[in-house]
């Protein structure tokens, strides 16, 4: 099932992330939940992630893990691994950061920005979010397709 949401600003994009967090909290599983976020640079992937974390009652700083590759956030419900694979060019790079250890951690959520750069190594996602600009003339509008 695919849900399409159109947002007009950062707050609405974060609210969409909070809604996904509710869906994740409803999943009764101890395994790792995998989320793929795709979209152009600046489309709102990190903003959406901030919303997910807000939905988990996380109120600390959330920043893009572009240079670190992964940011780890401890919430009451989950340990959240926020990956940015923009700079990844080979699967061996994911192996070197210990991707298997992250993915095998119970009660965790792994969020991947730019998942196509790690597709040879990553499992299928539980949630796939495509964020795109709704209209080039209306730069703030985004279309989020969540499946």
CATH number (domain holding residue 49):
3.40.50.300
Tens place of pLDDT per residue across the chain (147 aa): 889 988 889 999 999 999 999 999 888 778 889 999 999 888 889 999 999 999 999 988 787 777 778 999 999 989 999 999 998 888 888 988 899 999 999 999 999 999 999 988 999 999 999 998 876 555 678 888 899
Tokens of 144: 């989020």
Q: What domain count does the chain have?
A: 1
Residue 89 CA, chain-centre distance (Å), reads 19
Rounded CA-CA distance 60/74 in Å is 10
Check if the beta carbon of residue 7 is closer than 8 Å to that of residue 142.
yes
In the chain, at which residue ranges do the beta strands (DSSP E only) sit?
3-7, 32-39, 70-74, 79-84, 108-113, 127-135, 138-146
Which residue range(s) make up the domain with 103? 3-146
């Amino acid at each position: 099932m695919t849900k399409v949401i159109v947002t007009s600003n950062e707050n609405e994009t974060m609210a969409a992330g909070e809604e996904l967090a509710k869906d994740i909290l409803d999943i009764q599983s101890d395994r790792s939940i995998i989320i793929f976020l795709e979209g152009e640079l600046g489309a709102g992937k990190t903003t959406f992630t901030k919303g997910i974390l807000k939905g988990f009652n996380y109120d600390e700083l959330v920043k893009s893990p572009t240079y670190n590759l992964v940011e780890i956030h401890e919430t009451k419900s989950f340990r959240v691994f926020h990956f940015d694979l923009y700079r990844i060019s080979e699967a061996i790079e994911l192996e070197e950061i210990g991707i298997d250890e992250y993915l095998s951690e119970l009660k965790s959520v792994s969020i991947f920005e730019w998942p196509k750069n790690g597709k040879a190594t990553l499992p299928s996602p539980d949630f796939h979010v495509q964020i795109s600009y709704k209209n080039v003339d209306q730069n703030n509008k985004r279309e989020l397709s969540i499946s």
